Amino acid sequence: MKQFLFVFLGGGLGSMVRFGVSLLIQQFGKPVFPIATLTANFLSCIVLGLAAGIWSKQLLNFPYLNIMLIVGFCGGFSTFSTFSLESLALLRDGNYYLFALNILLSLILCISVLWILK
């Protein structure tokens, strides 16, 4: 039962940070490209890479912190569903280049940072 509480806390914190990233980016106007989602997913992959790679030995001593950070925080911070919805909107609006760019950048940046950190 304790695990669920830590996932809940981490997920809430991750969701709040994701919302904060969106608000911060919206201050510069509404972008045509879904940069807020890309930024949130990329930053979440950095945290995930650090937790699963560089910090993994230290986090073994703190299993609840590990699950809060990896499952909760990164799960709440990253957003595949929003990425999918925004990609579909670009495709439906005929923004084929932005659609392809969004998918390629998301995959390349996120997988690359995980590769480097893990």
* Phi (first) and psi of residue 3, to 5 degrees: -60, -40
Full residue range of the structural domain in which residue 14 is found: 2-117
Tell me the per-residue pLDDT of 61-113, one tens digit each, with 9 for 90 and over: 888 999 999 999 999 999 999 999 999 999 999 999 999 999 999 999 999 99
Share of the chain above pLDDT 90, in %: 86
Confidence grade of residue 56 (pLDDT, cut at 50, 70, 90): confident
Query: For position 59, what pLDDT does the model report?
Result: 85
**CA distances in angstroms from 98 to 23, 31, 106, listed in the order given:** 22, 12, 12
Query: For position 57, what pLDDT does the model report?
Result: 86
- Whether the per-residue pLDDT at 118 is higher than 90: the answer is no
Quote the number of domains for the chain. 1
Cβ atoms of residues 14 and 73 within 8 Å: yes
- Whether the per-residue pLDDT at 33 is higher than 90: the answer is yes
Tell me the per-residue pLDDT of 40-51, one tens digit each, with 9 for 90 and over: 999 999 999 999
**Exposed (0-12), middle (13-18) or buried (19+): which is 15, by Cβ within 10 Å?**
middle
CA atoms of 93 and 115, how far apart (whole Å): 33
Q: Which residues contact 46 (CB under 8 A, 6 or more apart)?
A: 113, 117
